[in-house]
Amino acid sequence: MTRPPTNTIVDAHLHVWDPARGVYPWLGPALAPVNRTMALPEVLPELGSHGVGAVVLVQSADSDFDTDLMFETARSHRQVVGVVGWVPLDQPVAAAERLARLRDEPLFAGVRNLIHEQPDPQWILRRDVDAGLDLLEQDGVPFDFVAAGPLALATAAEVARRHPGLRLILDHLGAPPLDTEPGQAQPWLRSLAVLAGHPQVYVKISGLYLRSDSDGNGMRRARAYIGEALELFGPRRMMYGGDWPICLLHEPYGRTLDIIRHGLPDLADADRDHILAGTATRAYRIDPQRLASATA
């Protein structure tokens, strides 16, 4: 695949949603700033000001309507270069039928389920879900894995062991404990090291919320966590994600990008290009012509 032009930035983790179109069970008054329609035009000025030329839209609800909304958004905005949608992994027959339709969409880039919202933390390891993951592995479809702590990372490692051919993309750096010094976060680091041993596992640098960080310690710890992941995975298996609009619950858009740009000053330009665009382009098999059009 053609490499993206130098200085291209792909935000590999951005959401849109519309509560008028369907139900988002996790959304409600407690999340008031984003408890409304969040459409791509709202964030386009921020993307432009941070030099982000292309985005991958990632699912927000375990329903077809959410995936359909993302494709509608993509048809109206050239900045969208990929869509990570939803299929019912626990219903393999229905999942196969939905995958067949999604493959007709040129921008279909992968699948995600809100596994962190499931009552059963081991849901992803159930036999019926495992059969759904078999479909993704056989079809070469990436799977975004939402991790919410060390137990989830261990579960992700088991998924990678069962499905060595599945391109598994770990969201939000595997949720490192940012309020803890990296040297004390051994469960996170051990699980991440196990995942790094599976060559088809990738990591998104996303969801690293520092909030006010008045003393700069949050930024320092975030840099250290990214550095630990970089040692394990290398830049060719790491990608940037801004996590808009969830990020607005904590801080303005672009803080994670600032960590990458300014927090890793010793990173070679080519390695930084991998993290900011190249890895996402390869992992999601983004069409180079669509990417060129988005960033023209």
Query: What CATH number did the domain enclosing 112 receive?
Result: 3.20.20.140
The total domain count for the chain is 1
How far apart CA 124 and CA 158 sit, in angstroms, is: 10
Is 3 a domain residue? no
Is 195 a domain residue? yes
149 pLDDT higher than 90: no
Q: Is the CB of residue 82 less than 8 Å from the CB of residue 56?
A: yes
pTM: 0.95
**Type of residue found at 30:** A
pLDDT band at 2; cut points 50, 70, 90: low
What would the pLDDT profile of 203-219 be if each residue is shown by its tens digit? 999 998 887 677 778 88
Is 180 a domain residue? yes
Is 269 a domain residue? yes
Is 150 a domain residue? yes
Buried b (16+ CB within 10 A) or exposed e, 277-296: bbbbbbbbbbbeebbbebbe
What would the pLDDT profile of 169-196 be if each residue is shown by its tens digit? 999 999 998 888 877 788 899 999 999 9
Is 126 a domain residue? yes
Q: Which residues contact 173 (CB under 8 A, 6 or more apart)?
A: 203, 204, 205, 206, 207, 208, 225, 226, 229
pLDDT band at 20; cut points 50, 70, 90: very high
Is 1 a domain residue? no
Q: Is the CB of residue 125 less than 8 Å from the CB of residue 83?
A: no
Is 4 a domain residue? no
State the residue range of the domain holding 279: 10-295
pLDDT of amino acid 191? 93
Which of the residue ranges 143-152, 225-234, 276-285 would you say has the lowest mean pLDDT? Answer: 143-152
Task: Give the burial class of 165: count Cβ atoms within 10 A of its Cβ; 0-12 exposed, 13-18 middle, 19 or more buried.
Answer: exposed
